[in-house]
A and B are shown apart, each in its own frame.
Chain A
Amino acid sequence: MSALRILVSVKRVPAPGAQITLTADARAIDARNLGFTTSPHEECAVEEAIRLVDTHGGDITVLTVGPPEADEQLRYAISVGAHHAIRVGNEEIASGEDPDPQATARAIADAVLALEAEAGVFDVLLFGNESADSGGFQVGVRVARALGRPIVNGIKAIDIADGVLTARRECDTGFEVYRMPLPAAVGVKEGINLPRYATLPGRLRAKKADVQTIDASPPRGGLATVQFATPAVEVTETVLLGTGADAAGAVVDLLSELGLA
């Protein structure tokens, strides 16, 4: 079994559950008091890369398109087992602009080609199925298409044997199975694994690790943010059916009314 070269693409996003406030002009989110993390599907992609390399040997490059603050997410990946960290950006991205999906994909595809020209083709490119903040469902597909690699999204299990990647995708009644020749790309979903926590030696290694930067100025795509808005809060009159076990009668009355009990 030959060693695998794996690249994982990650994005720095506001922590799930964070209370997000907008800037005064509503054109951006106010990041000053916000906690950030790696987008959940991508955290699982990093973990999956570590498990694949544990089995097959090889090395892991983690890449992000983002501001210098995103080094925090790259270092997290190093702390749990990734080997190389790459941050792709430019002045606008550094100042907090979130590039559109077409521009993001072009920047990643160009960076992958540059890295491959130096050190060889990546056997596997891992993406998150969609980012937690933008939810575009497309960057991985665009990168794979640009590079001519097969890609399947929504993957919750990966096995690699004899140069073939077998991927399982959850559907309503079970799993669909896909098989792709390497090199290939996969859009990973949370649930493929439970990500590990960093060890103390891992964190020390991450602190000292180099983050390589790549400049990119891809042309803008056709989707442009104008402003953000907070959804109207729905006011619901909650009918209190009771407290504790004594409420059971009222609950079953309701279930009967709905034709369920």
Chain B
Amino acid sequence: MTTSRLRGSLVTAVTWVLVLAFFFPVAWMVFTAFKPERQAATMPPTFAPDLTLSGFQAVFDRDMLPYLINSLSASVGSTLLVLVLAVPAAYALSIRPIVKVRDALFFFISTRFMPVAASIIPVYLLLQSVGGLDNITWLTILYIGVNLPIAVWMMRSFLAEVPRELIEAAQLDGARLGTEIFRVVLPIVMPGIAAAGLICFIFAWNEFFLANLLTAQVARTTPPFLTSFVDGRGQFLAVLSAAATVAIVPVVIAGWIAQKQLVRGLAMGAIK
């Protein structure tokens, strides 16, 4: 039996090596963010730098805050609106009787799979003609279109798990639709709503193509702003790493905390 235990610990060791190798780029980025610029890009790499916050200082001296706020308002705004639209729709598709459920579901998921290429040109020209370029509200509205299908799909699979007897009992009690939803169903699927919301938030926060194309100064969000830290004239790796660290921290921490819901939401949204 000792050989099998030995083999077990060997597999565990290999697992850890691989996992750490995969995590390394993130760890190295955060580490580099705390280095002074002159030690950030060296060969061989500096493993014992003079730790400093000057990278982060430089990031906020370059006024990163407005970009973060733009990202936050587009992500939070679009996520809330998506949920307001998606939860009733998913409810109609899973709990209340309706014809052509499959068609509607198929429609939603097909819009998610349609490349942005299919719609970006008219959208750009329309925004240009109404003066909607570089406007955070329009970006928020477009993010609704991107995230709505995922939210409907995920919410439907969460709602399908609500025991039907519960709802039927509420209906027999003469509970009206509003009560049915708010008192009986919502509390049960709250974790599902949180998961769907989190995934929409992550996608909106990380979105680059639309943000890069449709915003310039005023409504610029974080992802396209990050690219401005690449500086052809000199060393920039520490400040770039600091900016990237600030940019990914909200989503990574949220993802870690809500990991269970996130995993369940992704797997269920994908499979059921």
A and B physically associate: no
Interface residues of A (CB under 8 A from B): none
Interface residues of B (CB under 8 A from A): none
